[in-house]
Chains A and B, each alone.
Chain A
Amino acid sequence: MSDEIIRAENLSKEYVQGDVRVGALQDVSLEVRTGEFIVIVGPSGSGKSTLLNILGGMDVPTSGRVIYAGRDLAELNESELTEYRRSEIGFVFQLYNLMSALTARENVQLATELVSGALDLDEVMEKVGLTDRMEHFPSQMSGGEQQRVAIARALAKNPGVLLCDEPTGALDYETGIRILALLRELNCDYGTTVIIITHNLAVADMGDRMLRMRSGQIVEQRENEEPLPAERIVW
């Protein structure tokens, strides 16, 4: 398929801890199309984060491979992999992971400084609705605001893919909804491919596609003909 951006083939990941082997991923295959909005759901420990980390070039599979825009990640060397994370991937973490010593603007700068084709910082801040919070430090912001900064940080590099690991996990209902709406909006406006992880089944309806994971495997895939707008999700 010509608009395919990521293809994962037979990914397996095993963690060895002492004598115990944990199969975090077992033979997972997946294709992601450019501009797609994918929601991954599944219980805790089912391998969602592991999958996302491998797709984002932050972890390597025990077997199987990831092809990004025609290139096999396994064949990239250390600096090419860094370059991949730098220009192709935007990551949003559950716990925001902002630098407490930097203001909102500076946290975003941290990312924009890295790439040449970065989006305009003020525009991005406006987009995430933080124009009047730019000079605040993380400790002076609410969780939702912090997560917006984190999203701005991921987005500002203008990456091909936004990977979000439980971006609403630490937020209350209303704030969570707003963050999801924001992600969807960015997906539409910039055409950025978005993959988000959640253990909240209700969120599944808002994606173009939903993947359900259990015990390291994808047990269900569903295309949504009519994705639900975030504002209408109820949980």
Chain B
Amino acid sequence: MRALDKRLLRTVDRSRLQFLAIIVVIALGLMALVVLNNAYQNLDGAMSDYYERQSFAHLFSEFVPQPPDYVEGLRDLPEIREAEGRIVTDIRADIGRDIHPELHMVALPEEGDINRPLVLQGHLPGQKDRNEVALLAGFAEENDLQVGDEIDLIVREEAIRVRVSAVVSSPEFLYPITDISRVFAPDNEYYGIAFADLDFAADIVGMPGQVNQATFMVAEGHSLESAEEAVRDAMGGRGLMRVITRDDQLSHYSVSLRTGQLEDLASSIPLIFLAISAVIIYMLLMRMVEADRTVIGVLKAIGYSDGEVLMHYLKYALGMGFVGALLGMVIGHLLVRPVTETFFLEFFDMPLLQVQTDWSLIILGSLLTLVFCVGTGMWATRTVLQITPADAMQPAAPPPGQKNLLERWFPRLWSWLAFTTKLMLRQLLRNKKRFALAVLGVAFAYTLVVLPFYMLGILDAIVFEQFDEFEVYDYAVSFNEPISEAGIAQIREEADLKQIEPLIEYPFEARNGWRNETVPVRALPEGGTLQRFQNARGQRISIPTSGVLVCEYMAGALNVGPGDDVLLSSHITDEHEHHIPVKDVIRQDLGSGMYVSHQTMQAMTGDGDAYTGAFVQSTDDIRYRLRHAFNVKSITSVDQMVEGIDEMMGLVIALCTILVLMGGVFAFAILFNIATVGIMERTREFSSMRVLGYDRKSIYHIILHENILATIFGLILGAPMGHMTFVAVVEAFQRTEMIYLPVPFHPGSHVAATMLVCGFVALVMMAVRVKIRNLDLLEALSSRMT
């Protein structure tokens, strides 16, 4: 081995921890690159394959029942390649349990192509044997139902015995939810998806020769939006309730929300890690070259060329890059499968998913490492070229001594300070760039650490605020057929309910000028207490007698505010537009809606008391009490929803722990390196102090105080930085029609992050202490060379 390479290895060995920290950061970056990109590609690929194979619809429309040839006629639209009518309805099923789970029944034409379920076991229900259903795998597994089992469908006061003919998976239900409030935790126990034959379903739900939904494939060369517009125009006036594109379809929305996040993380996280390691490498090499001034001079005097000397220093960067990249990519490849399975297959039903590794990522990773490590290495060591062989003879020029700002402006204060404090402040003011870097390092680590806390905090807010403050009912009930006041009274009596508040809800078309949106409009009783509202300023709002409350997302999308009018129309108003004044803009985290009083709704629809649902407060399980109330389409239990979310929180917490740990590694790598470089830089100064009689402790204290100062500034900077980063993340991902998260300043998260960052700093200081203890300070004085 060449003598210079031996020197390199020994230097590395001498500062093991420092090099290790950098290697870990590089390794984490490449690990993230491999894991995230592979997971993303696998999921995205599996999703596209699946959609392709099972013809996942581009468009969905819902309308009051129509004959199927009406839907088929829509194929003539140039934007539409294929159209299929189907019946979708919510029923309940008696599967031998006390509580009858809800079944979201999708009835497809036998000859159809669109949204075909993928049979995992058995065969799809057909006309030959009509009394059959296929169950989505999640529900079947959760309830231990197998092909051949018999269950009762409860439809219109009748129990219809059917046989489970298949267990399936469906492109429409990769994530089995049909209501956005379920986005964090689907409920496979009480909510199932069933597929039936169209004619059979038409018979049992009383829609012979009719369909209530249509699915469409868009013709090539047409955009989703233009096709959506065309369908809306063609169906308008024929009882159209809403048209949605697959982007708004809940399963697809949920999956692509995750894959979208994954894609963004996959392209940003590795770069952040590599950039950080580049900064540390830069500092380290820069420092090394400066400290090695004489060495470089000697090497050049002996006859080493610029290139050879440069290469010597580049090898540090290359070596760290190589080891880090290798480590990161190997571990990354091992983690692709478990990560994909834990974080995605747990939620999404992707039978076609194949966990593969994309080997081109290795090339990408190597190139990125090379660019980051070697690039910064070259930049940091460029001063090697300016050092002449004659520098071997010159002791490094002492840094220009100059009174610093503090000294000049507050001489009194300055003279009053202890010597070590002066030394620290002088160093700090002399090397502002490095101090700034240390501050940034702390701020960055803080940001990393505070984000997961924010995430948890926000989830917590959604779950608990939403259900404790805004939706305080225990159950939401919806009916098959609208019922009158008397019907409500009957239910109240039947189930012995303390409190029940009837509601009317229909999808409306809301318009303001050229802007229009489809939005559910819910009518609530004036003075009701089970759903509450808060405006953007945090004030409690109650349902106004006239006028409408609009959620933030819709207010933005329609560009309306208090005092403006919106135009509301619906199939229930016979497409007649009503001018309704906006009373206030309200917070709504999940989903988006508008809220009016019963009176306002009735004025629009012209109907009397025709309630489509109700909120109920009850400590008993009304799902059991109402199991024979046949007009009840569905009952959602808030408790159970919260339970489901709680369960999922475990995983979120695991994810957050990983983030916090990464923040810790970062903090350590940055701060430890900055501190070490600071020691290297001042070895002679410290040695002189030792000779003067200062002990190691006072030297340690100088470094300690510097770090404490950097930490304090870093925390002050980190708090707003973390908050803003989170706001940016939320704005990018979660400000949609489906989820519109508020981002309050969250003091608890900041307290936790502050404590953790201080803990990391303490760890760094412990390592620094060892470093100082092992440093032979006198050696620095006795010989000039390193």
The residues of A with any CB-CB pair to B shorter than 8 Å are: 49, 53, 56-59, 78-79, 82-83, 85-87, 89, 91, 93-102, 106-107, 109-111, 113-115, 138-139, 153, 157, 165
CB-CB under 8 A from B11, the residues of chain A are 101
Instruction: Report 6 cross-chain contacts, Cβ distance below 8 Å, ordered by A residue.
Output: A85-B300, A101-B7, A101-B786, A102-B7, A106-B7, A138-B783
Contact in complex: A56, B3 (CB < 8 Å): no
Contact in complex: A86, B302 (CB < 8 Å): yes
**Complex-state Cα separation, A179 to B729, whole angstroms:** 70
Contact in complex: B389, A99 (CB < 8 Å): no
Contact in complex: B303, A83 (CB < 8 Å): yes
CB-CB under 8 A from B295, the residues of chain A are 97, 99
Query: Given A85-B389, A97-B392, A106-B6 in contact, is the A56-B301 Cβ separation under 8 Å?
Result: yes
Give B597-612 as 1s and 0s: 1 = Cβ < 8 Å from A's Cβ atoms: 0000000000000000
Contact in complex: A102, B3 (CB < 8 Å): yes
Shortest distance between the CB of B730 and any CB in chain A (Å): 51
Contact in complex: B390, A53 (CB < 8 Å): yes
**Residue B577 lies at the interface, judged by CB distance under 8 Å to chain A:** no
Give B112-129 as 1s and 0s: 1 = Cβ < 8 Å from A's Cβ atoms: 000000000000000000
Contact in complex: B393, A99 (CB < 8 Å): no
Contact in complex: A139, B302 (CB < 8 Å): no
**Complex-state Cα separation, A115 to B305, whole angstroms:** 13
Contact in complex: A110, B4 (CB < 8 Å): yes
Contact for A101 among B2, B10, B305, B390, CB less than 8 A: B10
CB-CB under 8 A from B298, the residues of chain A are 93, 97, 99
Contact for B388 among A59, A95, A101, CB less than 8 A: A59
Contact in complex: B390, A59 (CB < 8 Å): yes
**Complex-state Cα separation, A154 to B388, whole angstroms:** 18
- With both beta carbons as reference points, the residue of chain B lying nearest to A53 in the complex is identified as B390
Query: Given A78-B306, A138-B783 in contact, is the A107-B3 Cβ separation under 8 Å?
Result: yes
**Residue B294 lies at the interface, judged by CB distance under 8 Å to chain A:** yes
**Complex-state Cα separation, A91 to B783, whole angstroms:** 18
**Complex-state Cα separation, A165 to B298, whole angstroms:** 13
Contact size class for B? 20 to 34
**Complex-state Cα separation, A100 to B14, whole angstroms:** 12
**Complex-state Cα separation, A89 to B298, whole angstroms:** 12
Contact for A114 among B302, B389, B784, B785, CB less than 8 A: B302
Q: Which of B2, B302, B304, B389 has the most CB of A within 10 A?
A: B302
Q: Which of A82, A111, A153, A157 has the most CB of B within 10 A?
A: A82
Query: Given A102-B6, A113-B2, A113-B3 in contact, is the A96-B302 Cβ separation under 8 Å?
Result: no
Contact in complex: B300, A99 (CB < 8 Å): no
Contact in complex: B303, A97 (CB < 8 Å): no
- With both beta carbons as reference points, the residue of chain A lying nearest to B784 in the complex is identified as A95
- With both beta carbons as reference points, the residue of chain B lying nearest to A84 in the complex is identified as B303
**Complex-state Cα separation, A64 to B6, whole angstroms:** 41
CB-CB under 8 A from A100, the residues of chain B are 779, 783, 785-786
**Complex-state Cα separation, A110 to B388, whole angstroms:** 18
Query: Given A101-B11, A113-B2 in contact, is the A95-B785 Cβ separation under 8 Å?
Result: yes
CB-CB under 8 A from A53, the residues of chain B are 389-390, 393
Further 14 A-B residue pairs, CB within 8 A, beyond A91-B392, A97-B294, A101-B6: A59-B388, A59-B389, A85-B302, A85-B389, A86-B304, A93-B298, A93-B392, A96-B783, A97-B298, A100-B783, A101-B14, A106-B6, A111-B302, A114-B302
Contact in complex: B303, A87 (CB < 8 Å): yes
Shortest distance between the CB of B416 and any CB in chain A (Å): 35
**Complex-state Cα separation, A49 to B2, whole angstroms:** 31
CB-CB under 8 A from B305, the residues of chain A are 79, 82
- With both beta carbons as reference points, the residue of chain A lying nearest to B305 in the complex is identified as A82
Q: Which of A94, A101, A113, A153 has the most CB of B within 10 A?
A: A101
Contact in complex: A58, B389 (CB < 8 Å): yes
Interface of B is mostly: helix
7 A-B pairs closest in CB distance: A86-B303, A58-B389, A101-B10, A109-B3, A110-B3, A85-B303, A106-B3
Contact in complex: B388, A58 (CB < 8 Å): yes
The residues of B with any CB-CB pair to A shorter than 8 Å are: 2-4, 6-7, 10-11, 14, 294-295, 298-306, 388-390, 392-393, 779, 783-786
Contact for A58 among B306, B390, B779, CB less than 8 A: B390
CB-CB under 8 A from A113, the residues of chain B are 2-3
**Complex-state Cα separation, A153 to B304, whole angstroms:** 13
Shortest distance between the CB of B524 and any CB in chain A (Å): 78
CB-CB under 8 A from B783, the residues of chain A are 95-96, 98, 100, 138-139
Shortest distance between the CB of A71 and any CB in chain B (Å): 16
CB-CB under 8 A from A98, the residues of chain B are 783, 785
- With both beta carbons as reference points, the residue of chain A lying nearest to B304 in the complex is identified as A114
Shortest distance between the CB of A22 and any CB in chain B (Å): 14
Shortest distance between the CB of B371 and any CB in chain A (Å): 28
Query: Given A93-B392, A99-B786, A109-B3 in contact, is the A58-B301 Cβ separation under 8 Å?
Result: yes
Contact for A157 among B14, B303, B388, B390, CB less than 8 A: B303
**Complex-state Cα separation, A53 to B4, whole angstroms:** 24
**Complex-state Cα separation, A102 to B305, whole angstroms:** 20
- With both beta carbons as reference points, the residue of chain B lying nearest to A83 in the complex is identified as B303
Shortest distance between the CB of A187 and any CB in chain B (Å): 20
Shortest distance between the CB of B398 and any CB in chain A (Å): 14
**Complex-state Cα separation, A53 to B301, whole angstroms:** 9
- With both beta carbons as reference points, the residue of chain B lying nearest to A87 in the complex is identified as B303
- With both beta carbons as reference points, the residue of chain A lying nearest to B302 in the complex is identified as A111
Contact for A99 among B2, B303, B785, CB less than 8 A: B785
Shortest distance between the CB of B302 and any CB in chain A (Å): 5
- With both beta carbons as reference points, the residue of chain B lying nearest to A154 in the complex is identified as B302
CB-CB under 8 A from A91, the residues of chain B are 301-302, 392
CB-CB under 8 A from A87, the residues of chain B are 303
- With both beta carbons as reference points, the residue of chain A lying nearest to B14 in the complex is identified as A101
CB-CB under 8 A from B303, the residues of chain A are 82-83, 85-87, 89, 111, 114-115, 157
CB-CB under 8 A from B4, the residues of chain A are 110
CB-CB under 8 A from B786, the residues of chain A are 99-101
CB-CB under 8 A from B784, the residues of chain A are 95, 97
Shortest distance between the CB of B396 and any CB in chain A (Å): 13
CB-CB under 8 A from A78, the residues of chain B are 306
Shortest distance between the CB of A207 and any CB in chain B (Å): 21
Shortest distance between the CB of A110 and any CB in chain B (Å): 4
**Complex-state Cα separation, A49 to B779, whole angstroms:** 26
Q: Which of B3, B14, B306, B389 has the most CB of A within 10 A?
A: B3
CB-CB under 8 A from B10, the residues of chain A are 101-102
Contact in complex: A49, B393 (CB < 8 Å): yes
CB-CB under 8 A from B306, the residues of chain A are 78, 82
